[in-house]
Amino acid sequence: MYRPEEPEVNFEQILERVKNVFKRFRLSGGGGIASTAIVVVIVGALVVWLATGFYTVQPGEEAALRRLGAFNDIQGPGLHWFWPTPIGSRDVVQVDEVRRLEIGVRGGTPVLLESLMITGDADESGLPGEAPNIVDVQLLVQFDIKDLESFLYKSIDPAGATIVDATETALRQVVGSRPIDDVLTDGKEDIQAETKLALQGLMDHYSTGINIREVKLLNVFAPEQVKDAFDDVVRAQEDKARIINLADAYKEDILPRSRGQAAALEQGAEAFKQEKIASAEGQAARFLSILAEYEKAPLVTRQRLYLEAMEEIMPGITKYVVSEETGGGLLQFLPLTEQTSDLPAESGLNQP
């Protein structure tokens, strides 16, 4: 918004005062003194007039300068001097202020009569003259000034009627080209982004000097006559999105564990494979070494293999010694693997 300027010099009053002083000196008969006084007054008035050309621009502000009504320059923050009135003029504007435009909302309170009624792209063909997909939209637009010259001098009421009409046009264009469910359910983010781009294009086309920072849909709802049906559709869409999210979460939980188990099985199988291969190769090498020795001395090698086999087998077999003194029958035997120290003497069995 504009910042109030310092009061300008009223040159008519200054000239009137100069005339009054001149008249008083003439009446008093001081002609030479009067001329000197007039010069002093004129010089003083000129100094005062030039001094009014100093002005200050605060941080976040810009000053648009005009000389004889024509645009001259833009000045940033700091102390500056420019031709004072009536030769020059300046407009100091806060350019980094975030301004708000609310449509369908007034002071945070929805106003149904001011909402935008927009017809969306029909999902089903309706009868001629019917608009089967209509929504009321309330939105917020935030913007600032990026080109002060265009904002002040190249468009009419850029922060008022121009941006309001452009916003309605951009939103109708975007919503009207999409299925109506998008604006009611999960397509709001895309619609906001597209509307922002379309609105910025219109603002640049009209040379408003406005930068659109954000377009946000506040409330989107169906007309009262079909509100219940639309609410059912919205709930169904939300349930669908929720179930899809749950399924995705389940998938993200199961897949990593399944991949981990599969990797563990593969590693175990590979280890088992390498173990069997190494064992088989070792046994084959041992067999080949024995075969070479057998070919050199078959009888000795056969006898050695027999003895080694007996040494390996015998420790695992229960052994019995049958005494010939007791008749040599198979029923009289001595279990060498059991404790026999407590057997009676008349049993006829001898301890080893």
pLDDT value for 131: 42
* pLDDT tens-place string over residues 273-285: 999 999 999 989 8
For the CA atoms of 90, 95, 98, 99, what is the dihedral angle to 10 degrees? 30
Percent of the chain with pLDDT over 90: 16
pLDDT value for 119: 54
Answer whether residue 3 is part of any domain: no
Residue that wins the pLDDT comparison between 215 and 64? 215
- In this structure, the answer to whether residues 310 and 322 fall within a common structural domain is no
pLDDT value for 345: 46
Instruction: Tell whether the model's pLDDT for residue 325 goes beyond 70.
Output: no
Residue that wins the pLDDT comparison between 329 and 283? 283
Token pair in block for residue 83: 């031709």
Instruction: Tell whether the model's pLDDT for residue 145 goes beyond 80.
Output: yes
Going by C-alpha positions, the residue among 158, 152, 156, 155 that lies closest to residue 66 is 152
Residue that wins the pLDDT comparison between 247 and 35? 247
Answer whether residue 2 is part of any domain: no
- In this structure, the answer to whether residues 18 and 87 fall within a common structural domain is yes
- In this structure, the answer to whether residues 322 and 307 fall within a common structural domain is no
Q: What H or E segment, with its residue span, contains residue 3?
A: none
State yes or no: cis peptide before 86, omega within 30 of 0.
yes
Instruction: Tell whether the model's pLDDT for residue 157 goes beyond 80.
Output: yes
- In this structure, the answer to whether residues 111 and 207 fall within a common structural domain is yes
Answer whether residue 242 is part of any domain: yes
pLDDT value for 130: 41
pLDDT value for 22: 59
What are the Cα distances from residue 34, in Å, to 11, 30, 43, 92, 280?
20, 6, 14, 42, 133
pLDDT value for 280: 92
- In this structure, the answer to whether residues 173 and 62 fall within a common structural domain is no
- In this structure, the answer to whether residues 213 and 232 fall within a common structural domain is no
- In this structure, the answer to whether residues 142 and 203 fall within a common structural domain is yes
- Beta carbons of 107 and 101 less than 8 angstroms apart: no
- In this structure, the answer to whether residues 58 and 105 fall within a common structural domain is no
Instruction: Tell whether the model's pLDDT for residue 264 goes beyond 70.
Output: yes
- In this structure, the answer to whether residues 87 and 145 fall within a common structural domain is no
Pick from 221, 247, 276: which residue ends a domain?
221
Going by C-alpha positions, the residue among 315, 323, 328 that lies closest to residue 340 is 323
Handedness of CA 343, 344, 347, 352 (dihedral sign): positive
Token pair in block for residue 88: 């020059």
Answer whether residue 4 is part of any domain: no
Q: Can you give the residue range of the structural domain that contains 267?
A: 226-316
- In this structure, the answer to whether residues 107 and 214 fall within a common structural domain is yes
pLDDT value for 6: 47
- In this structure, the answer to whether residues 200 and 212 fall within a common structural domain is yes
Instruction: Tell whether the model's pLDDT for residue 24 goes beyond 70.
Output: no
- In this structure, the answer to whether residues 286 and 343 fall within a common structural domain is no
Answer whether residue 333 is part of any domain: yes
Which range (40-54, 182-196, 210-224, 314-328) has the least confidence?
314-328
Residue that wins the pLDDT comparison between 207 and 28? 207
pLDDT value for 348: 44
pLDDT value for 318: 67
Q: Mean pLDDT score of the chain, rounded to an integer? A: 75
Instruction: Tell whether the model's pLDDT for residue 102 goes beyond 60.
Output: yes
Answer whether residue 196 is part of any domain: yes
Residue that wins the pLDDT comparison between 282 and 16? 282
Pick from 195, 221, 247: which residue ends a domain?
221
pLDDT value for 108: 59
How many structural domains does the chain have? 4
Q: What H or E segment, with its residue span, contains residue 185?
A: none
Answer whether residue 33 is part of any domain: yes
Report the side by side order of strands in the sheet with 88-94. Answer: 70-75, 61-67, 88-94
* pLDDT tens-place string over residues 105-131: 656 555 555 455 565 544 444 443 344
Could you tell me the CATH number of the domain that includes residue 184?
3.30.479.30
Answer whether residue 208 is part of any domain: yes
Mean local confidence (pLDDT), 192-203: 92
* pLDDT tens-place string over residues 335-345: 555 554 454 44
Instruction: Tell whether the model's pLDDT for residue 4 goes beyond 70.
Output: no
Pick from 178, 206, 221: which residue ends a domain?
221
Place of tokens 């929805």: 110
* pLDDT tens-place string over residues 58-90: 887 888 888 887 778 788 787 877 777 788 778
**Quick one: pLDDT band at residue 346, thresholds 50, 70, 90?**
very low
Q: How many separate helices (H) and strands (E) can be counted in the chain? A: 8, 13
pLDDT value for 338: 54
